Chain A
């Protein structure tokens, strides 16, 4: 265990950084899911020819999302400082770092959710229209459940990116594992801290991926159960 190789002071720092990362990532993940999923739904259903077609709105939304996505996170973080201060009351600190993290991940998650929901067969949507389903019922009872495995997979990808982005949160005083690695491991020449940080991050990312895959598989009924267990 890397913990045994570290002094108690450094171990305490590592635990504290882990808590900061967990806090930033979990809040940002929750908020970006809550915002990104409806955005993804809007991107799908307002596309030309879809159930609530609004091509101009769709185009504007799409361009806005691309604008955020094409801005490097480190620049985005600095560029939206006034907005961050408006939302969290401060432009520095762990809580303040959640704002740019959320702003950066929401469009990514929206795009991933969009592509999962766009794959839902038009025939299913027509079948729902034919039994008199409203657009909202089609979204909640057909598109969302059918796309759920893809949405979970997208959420996993977004979460891994989020963890990676959170390493840059030190730039705005957000702390966290990445910050610890840079300040102690790199700037103070303590390679054991750097290694510890990397190991902890690898474990977290692996866990997220494994759990995400398991959940995606559990909600996927497209493959027969017998064949599914054979795949595992």
Chain B
């Protein structure tokens, strides 16, 4: 007879049904996915680590592979190479019953809600419990708090055809949370909703993340969704991970062209084409440098345009700019022509850097008539 040895949580290599408590929520290792008959990889050697409690945004254009990536996390899609671990437990080598059990720890919501039209709200939320084999009494006990959580307690007996899109997504969220998963995957969950409803669903997700400590992975093509809710963000382009980092850092200092273009509607990193086409790559006689100044945090409150005028006697001309708030921190990007900077440029740049601003000379502009008159008068 074998003695029953209690397995502690910390025993080396021990993995329970819900994985290891100390492992990151999700580890994606060198994931590659090719579809038969499709040239090129849909996912190309993507590696990511998502920590517990994060709201992790994955952004990309349609066809960037983000949907495939998120579907690999619960093995709705099988990768061609690489592996995915959820709570330290490999998902990519699970099949059949073991996979079904593991999936109960991973909730998922969808762009088109995917609620059963033949069941009431309560019936839809009961589905995971029935699948898990809970008793009728236990199911009846567990449904009301879930409906309460998503704000649908008054709609328990309604059919989805009587609900709005936002309400259907709430049903989806309640169903996804039913079995207390540690991870919630959101596949374009707000893309079919109007802006106001999107706002409400994002607020609900943020609330759930705080209340339950749930890790949320959210894929979207809308940067404002990432800005409003994500703590970290990954940018996918043509199946490759082109950028990854804390949301504020990626929004403030995007390194990739793709990230910059995604941000154009939100943060003024890129000049409008009409303005950009007039910039000169090299200085010429009678030209002024064009500066892009990124304000973050405290420096956003400094009156720098006034300083340029009074301390440096410049004629700054603002080309483009915007201030936004990301994770409650101000983020501003201002593009201006430092009119009359000339030899003062190095001093000017070090002064701005000393204020904690990030400054970059992005080109040169032909000196304006006003600046020319001003310089001549001097």
Question: A: which residues have CB within 8 A of B?
Answer: 121, 123-124, 126-134, 137, 141-142, 145-146, 148, 219, 221-226
* B131 & A141 in contact (Cβ 8 Å cutoff): yes
B137 interface residue, CB < 8 Å from A?
no
- Of the candidates A126, A128, A221, A226, the one having the most CB atoms from chain B within 10 angstroms of its own CB is A221
Instruction: Please state if B162 and A146 are interface contacts (CB–CB under 8 Å).
Output: no
Q: Are A148 and B128 in contact (CB under 8 A)?
A: no
Q: CB < 8 Å: which of B104, B106, B114, B127 contacts A121?
A: B114
- Beta-carbon contact of A146 and B117 below 8 Å: yes
Docked-complex contact B159 and A224, CB < 8 angstroms: yes
Q: Are B103 and A146 in contact (CB under 8 A)?
A: no
Closest B residue to A134 by CB, please name it: B100
| A209 nearest CB across to chain B (Å) | 23
Query: Interface size (B, Cβ < 8 Å)?
Result: 35
The answer to whether A123 touches B118, judged by C-beta atoms less than 8 angstroms apart, is: no
- Given the complex of chains A and B, what is the CA–CA distance between A127 and B112 in angstroms? 11
Q: Which residues of A contact B110 (CB under 8 A)?
A: 123, 126-127
> With A121-B114, A123-B110 given, is the CB distance from A141 to B127 under 8 Å?
yes
Q: Which residues of A contact B175 (CB under 8 A)?
A: 127, 131
- The one of B74, B97, B101, B161 in contact with A130, judged by C-beta atoms closer than 8 angstroms, is B74
Taking the complex as formed, is B246 at the interface, i.e. its CB lies under 8 A from any CB of chain A?
no
Instruction: Kindly count the residue-residue contacts between A and B in the assembled complex, taking CB atoms under 8 Å apart.
Output: 87
- B residues within 8 Å of A by Cβ? 74, 76, 97, 99-104, 106-108, 110, 112, 114-119, 127-128, 130-132, 159-162, 172, 175-176, 178-179, 185
A222 touches B108 (CB 8 A): no
**Docked complex Cα distance between A141 and B119 (Å):** 10
**Contact (Cβ within 8 A) A141 B114:** no
When the two chains form their complex, are residues A132 and B117 in contact, meaning their CB atoms are under 8 A apart?
A: no
Q: State the Cβ distance, A123 to closest chain B Cβ, in Å.
A: 4
Q: Which residues of A contact B99 (CB under 8 A)?
A: 132
Tell whether, in the assembled complex, residue B131 and residue A224 are in contact, meaning their CB atoms are under 8 Å apart. Answer: no
Residues of B within 8 A of A129 (CB): 76, 103
- Choice from A124, A133, A219 contacting B131 with Cβ under 8 Å: A133
In the bound complex, CA of A102 to CA of B107 (Å): 45
The smallest C-beta distance from B70 to any residue of chain A, in angstroms, reads 11
Task: Given contact pairs A141-B127, A221-B160, enumerate 5 new A-B contacts (beta carbons under 8 Å).
Answer: A127-B110, A129-B76, A130-B74, A131-B179, A134-B100
In the complex, A132 Cα to B75 Cα: how many Å? 11
A215 → chain B closest CB, angstroms: 14
- In the complex the two chains form, is A221's CB within 8 Å of B159's CB? yes
List chain A residues, Cβ under 8 A from B127: 128, 131, 133, 141
A127 neighbours in B (Cβ, 8 Å): 108, 110, 114-115, 172, 175
B116 touching A124 by the CB < 8 A rule?
A: yes
The docked-state distance in angstroms from the alpha carbon of A142 to that of B117 is 10
Instruction: Name the CB-closest residue of B to A148.
Output: B118
Q: Name A123's closest neighbour in chain B (CB-CB).
A: B114
Q: A126-B76, A221-B117 are in contact. Are A131 and B161 (CB under 8 A)?
A: no
Within 8 Å CB of A222, what residues of B?
A: 117-118, 161
- Residues of chain A within 8 A of B103, CB atoms compared: 129-132
Chain B, residue nearest A131 (CB):
B128
Please give, as numbers and ranges, the residues of chain B lying within 8 Å of A133 by CB-CB distance.
100, 127, 131
A132 & B131 in contact (Cβ 8 Å cutoff): yes
Contact status of A221 and B131, CB under 8 A, knowing A130-B108, A132-B100, A132-B104: no
Bound Cα distance A222, B110 (Å):
19
Taking a contact as CB atoms under 8 Å apart, the answer to whether B118 and A221 are in contact is yes
Cβ contact of B161, chosen from A142, A146, A224, cutoff 8 A: A224
A-B contact pairs, 19 of them (CB 8 A): A127-B114, A127-B175, A130-B176, A131-B103, A131-B108, A131-B127, A131-B178, A131-B179, A132-B132, A133-B127, A134-B100, A137-B130, A137-B131, A145-B119, A221-B117, A221-B118, A222-B117, A222-B161, A223-B161
Contacts of A221 in B (CB 8 A): 117-119, 159-161
* Contact B76–A146 (Cβ < 8 Å): no
CB nearest to A140 among chain B residues: B130
Q: A221-B161, A224-B162, A225-B159 are in contact. Are A130 and B106 (CB under 8 A)?
A: yes
Whether A146 and B116, one on each chain, are in contact in the complex, defined by CB atoms closer than 8 angstroms, is: yes
B139 to chain A, nearest CB (A): 13
- Name which residue of chain A comes closest to B181, CB basis: A131
- A223-B161, A225-B159, A225-B162 given as contacts; is B101 within 8 A of A126 (CB)? no
Closest partner residue, chain A, to B119 (CB atom): A145
Rounded to whole angstroms, the CA-CA distance of A125 and B132 in the bound complex is 16
The residues of B that contact A225 with a CB separation of less than 8 Å are 159, 161-162
User: Please, which residues of chain B bring their CB within 8 A of the CB of A137?
Assistant: 130-131
8 nearest A-B residue pairs (beta carbon): A127-B114, A132-B100, A132-B103, A123-B114, A145-B118, A130-B108, A221-B159, A131-B128
- A121 to chain B: closest residue by CB: B114
Task: Give the docked Cα–Cα distance between A119 and B185 (Å).
Answer: 26
Question: Which chain A residues lie closer than 8 Å to B119 at the CB level?
Answer: 145, 221
Closest to A133 in B: B131
What CA separation (Å) do A124 and B114 show in the bound complex? 5
Residues of B within 8 A of A224 (CB): 159, 161-162
Residue of B at shortest CB range from A137?
Answer: B131
